[in-house]
Chain A
């Protein structure tokens, strides 16, 4: 910093700092000086007043006797001491009625300058003095006047008090005024002292300001030098490594380091900007492509929505969206199912149409995302309808809701019911048909034990007639007869069970037992038909859950079909295989018949389909079999194999 730079304030930071500091210093020092002067003046006045009060009190005390005795000589002696004090212009004493007793002045002051005119205290001023308990001072143009009452104890001495002190006994004498003294302090010494202090302080102020400015100049120059160096470095160019202060540890060093970092950051930023600029067009193109893509997606979405609406409106199922318990959206079919017009359902509470709406909401509020219900509802005209309702959680217009798809299954349910009834009826018919076929077999089966019983009884009667009855032989014949009767009983009981209508009981059953039971009814027929039966039964085959009678009917139907098919065949053989296959039990039923023509294979499990002459078969056989197997959650398929005619593979779940 030089003085030239001081002049160029706008261009020099250090010059501004110098000006600011100097200005602040001048303001502070001036303020402090004037404040100090003011306080000094107050202090001098305070001291003068204090001195005056003390002198007045001293005068009052010392002149008490003189005023009491009204002895001017004593008063003069008392006041002289006070008057001789520097700064005192004079003193005067008055009696209690305000009459002047004595007045003493210093040279240059006249008694009339000090005492009241007429040598007595003015009437209007006397009460003020009498009421004043201490020293009172009055400031005049040339002086301070101090007035003090002269107090004395009353001459209230008792005779006893002459001999001993009795003031401690609670009878202190009350002070009373016996006169007044006035002490006049000349203001001239005070004003002189103030002037001297003012001059001294102003000179000191000027001196300190000058010294302060010089000191400030050098301080600012010293402080601003590193900044100037830094500025010069910066001016020379953005070369961070050239900064002279970059290595120092103070604030300027930090500033330099920061500047260097900033320059480096700027360079990096410029490089980044350049890179960004280059890549910006690519990104713009990518963005445009992205926008185009998004527009296409939006179009697709719109089209999808249109399709959805179109589909939703076109399908026969009712579709609706429930938000906050009300129908937010629904298609025409939904309105049609309930018999409402489209506008009637707007904002209608879902519960009005679907009593289970709350239940659906409750289910879907948990982990369930999809629920299915059969709902009995009513149409607008009050007629009941049966609905199959599929509900799932969706987000609709930012809110959680339920989408329901419902189908009026009132008619299909009725049809299903009819179908079931027909199926049951068919089952019965099938059984009756089977019974017709197996009647011969059963009759032959029963006939054998009956023949044995007849022969045995005839032999017994013959032995009785010939009187050659052997009790042991007879006992053995009876036992055998009873066994044959048990056999007949078993067959008839089984026949009765097979023909029973109630066949809905499911239990754990073994498939070999089912086969044995079916052979009970069909075995004799097979033998009469000269059909060889081959059984391959796996000992480890676990039981299945099912209805033994129905499964027995499956086998009987298959046996009957095979017997029909094997009629006239050179080789008459039926092979039954029962084996486990994973969690399924497999039954392979094969015969050596002609098999099923390929063109009808896909229809063989349809009800009432048959390839036989109408009079021979009802066409219910494989249809019934299919129905029973499905009822057992199993499958049946036609599985031809080389060397065999018809071959069926039945799979039943183990413990379904």
Chain B
């Protein structure tokens, strides 16, 4: 049976054209587990969602389907164990754990890519696992000292208390950068919270600034008031890592930008759900910080800040 040539070509042309039609990208399924309904967590989640929905074409030849996001707030879930079982069965494309509790709950789901966010010390929660990465909350000491030098270039000695087991590495890193900036770092180790008053007394008259590190041994409910009282009585301003201490009397804070951290995690998530494997993406530090000053506290302590543009 000899058919004309064009009749024999048409079916093959149709098949080829069909194969040449660009395929639409499939959206990933993202589950967010949030430790609590705190404002910082919500801020970070808002940044994360912002990134996931930003610049995604939903129509046209290169359109992709929007990612579906399911959120759980752990403090409102009746049975966390049941939630973990559900997630295990559901096997989403990505699991975002916001807060240490959330990460603790989902860390064992080895076959699900997990991003953590707002976890201060992830190494205390997880071990090195290939399916887990995230944004660390550690603010590099260089960023903090940089901000300090910016508002008070003539800073001489910065005193700090630290638990070597918790923040020893951070202090070590700080020493290196302080040396570069000609800042003398008077770091006094504290092994027990009850040592804080006596150690603080030793800083009296010796330090120009008191650097407050995110150290649970130093910062306890019993010591926190005393630290600020010490600051006031000895006129030593405090450099801290969170805005919340500004209201208590700290002068300068170099704190994390939670929204940006969310965006940063969102970008990381896109990579994970894209071509890159999660094992290839290491944890990253927060890329952005916010510097704020407490002018009233500075005024009470009798110091003058320069280059200040933060809120009062």
Give residues in A with beta carbon < 8 Å to B: 64-66, 68-71, 74, 152-155, 157-160, 162-166, 169-170, 173, 178
Contacts and interface: CB of A to CB of B under 8 A. Distances in A.
A289 B228 CA distance: 126
A160 B116 CA distance: 13
Nearest to B256: A163
Tell me the interface secondary structure of chain A in the complex. Answer: loop
B221 A153 contact: yes
In the complex, the 3 A-B pairs of residues with the closest C-beta atoms, listed nearest first: A159-B120, A153-B221, A169-B36
Contact of A64 (B75, B137, B222): B222
B260 to A, nearest CB: 15
B226 interface: yes
Interface in B236-292: 241-242, 244, 255-256
Instruction: Give the residue among A70, A166, A170 with the most B Cβ atoms within 10 A.
Output: A166
B197 A166 contact: no
A176 to B, nearest CB: 11
A486 B122 CA distance: 169
A170 to B, nearest CB: 7
Contacts of B242: 162-164
A159 B121 CA distance: 7
A65 B222 contact: yes
B188 to A, nearest CB: 14
B123 to A, nearest CB: 11
Contacts, number: 80
Contacts of A162: 120, 214-216, 219, 241-242
B203 to A, nearest CB: 15
Contacts of B100: 158-160
Contact of A74 (B38, B197, B255): B197
Nearest to B216: A157
28 contacts: A64-B222, A65-B222, A65-B226, A66-B197, A68-B223, A69-B195, A69-B196, A71-B194, A152-B221, A152-B222, A153-B221, A154-B221, A158-B100, A160-B35, A160-B100, A160-B118, A160-B120, A162-B215, A163-B214, A163-B241, A164-B39, A164-B40, A164-B242, A164-B244, A165-B244, A166-B38, A169-B38, A169-B75
B124 A70 contact: no
Contacts of B221: 152-155, 157, 173
Contacts of B244: 163-165
Nearest to A165: B244
B37 interface: yes
A152 B38 CA distance: 25
Contacts of B256: 163
Nearest to B37: A169
Contacts of A160: 35, 99-100, 118, 120
Contacts of A66: 197
A169 B37 CA distance: 8
B198 interface: yes
B111 interface: no
A170 B214 contact: no
A69 B75 CA distance: 35
Interface string B209-227: 0000011100111110110
Nearest to A158: B100
A65 B223 CA distance: 7
Instruction: Give the residue among A64, A69, A70, A74 with the most B Cβ atoms within 10 A.
Output: A69
Contacts of A152: 221-222
Contacts of B88: none
A166 B37 CA distance: 10
Contact of B193 (A68, A74, A164): A68
Contacts of B216: 155, 157, 159, 162
A153 B255 CA distance: 26
Contacts of A170: 75
Given A164-B39, A169-B75, 9 more contacts: A70-B194, A74-B197, A155-B220, A160-B99, A160-B118, A162-B215, A164-B40, A166-B36, A169-B36
A169 B38 CA distance: 7
A164 B38 CA distance: 9
Contacts of B214: 159, 162-163
A68 B222 contact: yes
A65 B197 contact: yes
Contacts of B226: 65
A74 B197 CA distance: 9
B193 A155 contact: yes
B138 to A, nearest CB: 11
B99 A65 contact: no
A587 B54 CA distance: 155
Contacts of A69: 194-198, 222
A169 to B, nearest CB: 4
Contacts of B196: 69
A159 B124 CA distance: 10
A68 B120 contact: no
Nearest to A173: B221
Contacts of B215: 162
A386 to B, nearest CB: 117
Contacts of A164: 38-40, 242, 244
A465 to B, nearest CB: 167
A354 B99 CA distance: 123
Contacts of B137: 163
A158 B119 CA distance: 10
A163 B120 contact: yes
A634 B193 CA distance: 153
Contacts of A64: 222
B193 A163 contact: no
